[in-house]
Structure 1
Amino acid sequence: MADKPKDTSEQTEPQAGAQKAVSTGKGVGSPYDSPTGQLPRVGMTKEPTPSTTVPVDGVPRTDDELGLDPGPDVPTVSQPTDTSGTGATAAPPTTAGATAAGAGAGAAGATAAYSYASIPPAANTPGEPSRSLRRRPVDNRRGTLDFGLFVLRLVVGGTFIYHGLQKLTGWFNGPGLDGTRDMMAGGGWDHATLCAVLVTIGELGGGALLVLGLVTPLAAGAVLAVILDAWAWKQGMIPGFQYRGSVPSGVELESVLAGTAVVILLTGPGRWSLDRNRGWAIRPRYGSFVVLVLAVVAAVVTYWYLHGGNPFTGIGPFD
């Protein structure tokens, strides 16, 4: 026996009143019956048209119910694009055995999708190095270089300390400060006391700073100026080029010390030094070359003013 359909004409009075209020577009009398009917229409860009469908419960959910402008359609990556201008779009492949033409169309679609779905990387500023060069790691491995420079500073600086102590204190069978002054006066130097003080400070102070690796460019410049004056003094004793260390006027030792002082000045003291945090410790630049030139100029001026004479007498064009 079939159930008797319910009589839809029989409705309670509150239900009939609610539907009547909805159909006429008027708000309900109490916010407790339908609270959404009392809320303002936030975010609407246009008023609902008469054709707008209002839900039964009074709560709008779709763009048409809210009266919003849907705006232009934005294609997605999976949506095929129309490249012919006819409004027709290619259907995506449906089987795994797509033909070569279908594969080419898929690649073209992927390229077209990339053009609006992704942002290409910005180009480098003119003159700026490429990103690969900027990110290239710097090789800071120096092997035994720093240790080798430390040994070189010990040998050169220690040699100058040795000769400085001979002149200052008389140690190691040295002449002492008075003996150094008399030796300078007998060798043709003017202002012998000043000369003795200058050579002692240059050898002892410059040698100690070289060993420590402290203010290395100035220390190397100081010992270089001192040893160049010593080279000129001994070379000028006898006409001709005197290099052998076995003769009193030989400049073999002075030449070696001058060369090593230049090497330290141009290479820096290395990381085994008190200057390890300075730029000139491992990467000296134009400043070291400037100090080299100033040291040579200081040696020439000092020798010319305090001694005079020509140390190159008898050597080729300097006769």
Structure 2
Amino acid sequence: MTEKPKDTSDPSAARSTVPSTAEQSAVSTTGRGVSSPFDSPTEQFPKLTKDVPRTDDELGLDPQVPSVGDSPDAPPAYAYASIPPAANAPNDTGRLRRRNGDSRRGTLDFGLFLLRLIVGGVFIYHGLQKLTGWFNGPGLDGTRDMMASGGWDHQTLAAILVTIGELGGGVLLVLGLATPFAAGAVLAVILDAWAWKQGMIPGFQFKAAVPTGVELESILAGTAAVIILTGPGRWSFDRNRGWATRPFAGSFVVLVLAIAAAIGTYWYLHGGNPFTGIGPFD
């Protein structure tokens, strides 16, 4: 009989060639050999030799430098980056209402239209009297003679100016076209008429019952000034202009210029004090 050969290999090497129970289980379940100790659920991960840095000092960051979220100039973060934030509502609500066609003005525009119609109609009436002689008027020649007898120095120029101011200004007022200048023209004309009648007799003349009374002229001058300051409204050809619905500083300028034009015209063409007979101007 032959003797069994003696196993001279290292027992530890023999043990290393024998697969462990975990490796056998992995082979039986996956059908493949274990290629890495991490493939086996029973194996332990290798221990890290150094702890993971967790603080700014360990990471090498400067604690004085603010992060992106802490910077005051940084844009705000949103939960959903794909959805931009809603835009702020416009503060100019009046402009927004006008753009949307909102016309919450009640009867204001209709009232301004009636005011322009009445005031402009009165001036058209007197302008046609002076230009054509209609409505028992003097006509252009009679107007010139009337200005001459009333103490006006340049009778023809004075007659032309008063006729254009009354007729042209009245038509433009009714149409609501170039309204501030139209109202300024009729205001200057009626102020000169007011000063002329007031200066005919010493003392303050106001009652309409007397020929020199300035009651009607005072009302017409006041309404013309009101139209300058309020604008013609939306029932006008100036409805798309700023002075139609939003008059501001320009209206005061036109009002002052109209008064200055009336005083300068009366002083140059009549040569007198427009305030004669009133209080301290007696």
**In 1, Cα distance between equivalents of 2:37 and 2:241:** 78
In the alignment, what sits opposite 2:228? Answer: 265
**In 1, Cα distance between equivalents of 2:228 and 2:192:** 18
* 2:216 counterpart of 1:288: no
Aligned pair partner of 1:313 in 266, 276, 280:
276
In the alignment, what sits opposite 1:107? Answer: none
Once the two structures are TM-superposed, the CA of residue 118 in structure 1 deviates from its matched residue by: 6.7
In the alignment, what sits opposite 1:179? Answer: 142
Cα pair 1:240 1:312 within 8 Å, conserved: no
One-letter code of the match for 2:274?
Answer: P
Cα pair 2:144 2:155 within 8 Å, conserved: yes
Once the two structures are TM-superposed, the CA of residue 314 in structure 1 deviates from its matched residue by: 3.1
Once the two structures are TM-superposed, the CA of residue 132 in structure 1 deviates from its matched residue by: 7.3
Q: Is the alpha carbon distance of 1:317 and 1:211 closer, same or farther for their aligned partners in structure 2, counting shifts above 3 Å?
A: same
One-letter code of the match for 1:165?
Answer: L
Cα pair 1:165 1:171 within 8 Å, conserved: yes
Alignment of 1:126-275 (within 5 A): 131=89, 133=91, 138=97, 140-275=103-238
One-letter code of the match for 2:153?
Answer: D
**In 1, Cα distance between equivalents of 2:186 and 2:78:** 70
**In 2, Cα distance between equivalents of 1:189 and 1:256:** 24
Give the fraction of aligned pairs with identical amino acids, expressed as a percent. Answer: 77
> How many residues are paired up?
205
Once the two structures are TM-superposed, the CA of residue 135 in structure 1 deviates from its matched residue by: 6.3
Cα pair 2:263 2:274 within 8 Å, conserved: no
Please list every run of at least 4 consecutive aligned residues from structure 1 whose deviation after the TM superposition is greater than 3 angstroms: 50-54, 115-119, 130-140
Quick check: 134-143 or 239-248, which moved more?
Answer: 134-143
**In 1, Cα distance between equivalents of 2:251 and 2:130:** 29
Cα pair 2:198 2:277 within 8 Å, conserved: no
Higher RCO structure (Cα 8 Å, ≥6 apart): 2
SS of the equivalent of 1:253 reads: helix
In the alignment, what sits opposite 2:13? Answer: none
- TM-score normalised per structure 2: 0.67
**In 2, Cα distance between equivalents of 1:52 and 1:288:** 93
Cα pair 1:241 1:312 within 8 Å, conserved: no
**In 1, Cα distance between equivalents of 2:116 and 2:78:** 65
- TM-score normalised per structure 1: 0.59
One-letter code of the match for 1:232?
Answer: A
Q: Gaps spanning 5+ residues in structure 1: where?
A: 1-22, 24-49, 55-114, 125-129
**In 1, Cα distance between equivalents of 2:90 and 2:151:** 64
